[in-house]
Amino acid sequence: MKLLVKEVDLDFLSTEYENIEFYTLCSDDRLSFITCIVCICKNLQDVIENWRTIQNMVAVYYQHSGGFDAWNMYLAFICNEKIPIWDKYEIENNKFSARKIVLDEFQERPTIEHLIRELEKQLLGSDLKLASQSHQLEESLPNLENYYRGAPLESNSKSRDKRASMINKIIESLNNNEN
């Protein structure tokens, strides 16, 4: 899955915030419904002072109540300057109307292509690699069938004790082979 720039009318934001550039990115998978509004701010004050009103405007003008676009909506605030950790924490942990991402401390103004790569890492996990594991783990774990075969099914105390012992052996084996 990839994020693509999508032409969406964001005039309701652009006219209100002349110092901030806005882009809309959408997933190329029509079943994912991921939308990210990117807000490229000139300085950290633009982020800190405006993130709440921007999220409110997006909720009112862009998100439709109950539709799929209300889910998997992200607001990404981009700034070359370092955002103070508390402000970054507050923004990213606010879940009203959209999830938020703050990308800061860029050496120079990032291009939209660079932002797409960064946001794909954040939103899609594109930087994650699936490592293949050998079947050594399966071979080292004894077959669980050996532990429960012949378990008594009666409800008397001797059968219950025997089943409890079998369960304890399974847990012990799993704990020993946990890693």
Q: Show me where the domains of the chain are located.
A: 3-124, 141-176
At 112-124, the pLDDT tens digits run 898 988 888 888 7
Residues of the chain with pLDDT under 50: none
User: How far is the C-alpha of 175 from the C-alpha of 10, rounded, in Å?
Assistant: 55
Q: Residue 169 burial (CB < 10 Å; 0-12/13-18/19+)?
A: middle
Contacts of 65 (CB under 8 A, 6+ apart): none
pTM of the full predicted structure? Answer: 0.67
